[in-house]
Homo-oligomer: A and B are copies of this chain.
C-alpha cells in the first residue's frame, strides 16, 4: 500500500505524477529529453542505461517498464536488455556502451566513484563528452526516479503483458502528457 493517498488504479510513478502535476511536468520533460531527445546514443542504448541503473537500485516498477521500453526500441529483444541489466561486460553490445554502463554503475553508487580512468576508457571507445554527460545524468536521474517510486511505496503491477504495453507507449509515444490522468485520491 502506498505511504500516502495516491490516485488508485495508476501504476508506479504515474500515480505520483497524477498526485502532483506541478512536479510531474519537469520530471516528464527530463525523461523525454534524456531518453528520446536528439542524441548520438540510440534510444535503445539510453533505455538500456535506465533499465540497468534501475535494476542496480532494485526498483521493480522502473526496471521492468524501462526494460520493456528498451526492448521495444530494439525489435523486441528482451534477451539483449536482460544481458545488459545483469551482466553487461559479457553482453553483445559495443565496447563504447560497455564503458558508458561502467560509468553509469559508478554513478549509481555515488558520483565521486567515477574516475578519470573510467572516462578515458569511454573516450577511447569513441564516446563523446556529450554522451558521457548524458550517461552520468541518466544514471543520476534514475537514482531519483527509483527513490521517488519506492520512497512512496507506489503500486507496482506484476502482469508482464501490462509492462510490455507500457514499454511500447514509453518507446513510441514518449514521456510527455498534455494533462495528467484525473486525480482519484485526496491530498
Chain A residues in the interface with B (C-beta under 8 A): 3-5, 16, 19-20, 22-23, 25-27, 29-30, 33-34, 37, 57-59, 103, 106-107, 110-112, 114, 116, 119, 128-130, 132-134, 136-137, 139-141, 143-153, 186-187
| B146 adjacent to A144 (CB under 8 Å) | no
Q: Give 10 closest A-B pairs by Cβ, nearest first.
A: A111-B150, A111-B151, A144-B144, A140-B147, A4-B129, A26-B30, A26-B29, A111-B147, A136-B151, A26-B26
The one of B16, B140, B146 in contact with A148, judged by C-beta atoms closer than 8 angstroms, is: B140
Copies in the complex: 2
CA distance A110 to B146 in the complex (A): 8
A81 to nearest B CB, angstroms? 22
